Amino acid sequence: MKPVVILGIFVADTAYRADRMPKMGETILGRTFVLGPGGKGSNQSVAAAMAQRGTGGRTHFITRLGRDDFAQIARSTWAAAGVQPEVTEDLDSYTGAAFIFLEEATGNNAIIVAPGAAGRVSVADVEAKRGLIEGAAVFVTQLEQPIPAARRGLEIARAAGVVTILNPAPAAPLDDPMLALCDFVTPNESEAEALTGLPVTSVSEAERAADALLAKGVGACVITLGGNGALYRDRSRSVHVPVISAGPVVETTGAGDAFNGGFAVALSEGRDVVDAVRFGCATAGISVTRPGTAPAMPDRAEIEALLARS
pLDDT at 98 over 90: no
Q: Is residue 5 in a domain?
A: no
Query: Is residue 69 flagged as an active site residue?
Result: no
C-alpha span between 290 and 49 (Å, rounded): 18
Q: Is residue 32 in a domain?
A: no
pLDDT at 251 over 90: no
The total domain count for the chain is 1
Phi, psi of 40 (to 5 degrees): -60, -45
CATH number of the structural domain spanning residue 186: 3.40.1190.20
Mean pLDDT taken over the chain: 96
Annotated active-site residue in 13, 90, 183, 257: 257
The domain of 299 spans 39-93+121-308
CB of 206 closer than 8 Å to CB of 231: yes
Kindly state the average pLDDT of the residues 264-274. Answer: 98
Q: What is the model's pLDDT at position 154?
A: 98
C-alpha span between 300 and 55 (Å, rounded): 8
CB of 191 closer than 8 Å to CB of 178: no
pLDDT at 2 over 90: yes
Q: Is residue 105 in a domain?
A: no
Phi, psi of 110 (to 5 degrees): -135, 140
Q: Is residue 16 in a domain?
A: no
pLDDT digits (tens, 9 = 90+) for 173-230: 999 999 999 999 999 999 999 999 999 999 999 999 999 999 999 999 999 999 999 9
Query: Confidence band (pLDDT; 50, 70, 90) for 111?
Result: confident
3-state class (DSSP) for residue 305 = helix
C-alpha span between 44 and 297 (Å, rounded): 9
Q: Is residue 290 in a domain?
A: yes
Q: Is residue 112 in a domain?
A: no
Instruction: Please state the pTM of the whole predicted model.
Output: 0.93
pLDDT at 276 over 90: yes
Residues whose CB falls within 8 Å of the CB of residue 140, separated by 6 or more in sequence, listed in order: 4, 5, 6, 7, 8, 41, 44, 48, 164, 165, 166, 167, 260, 264
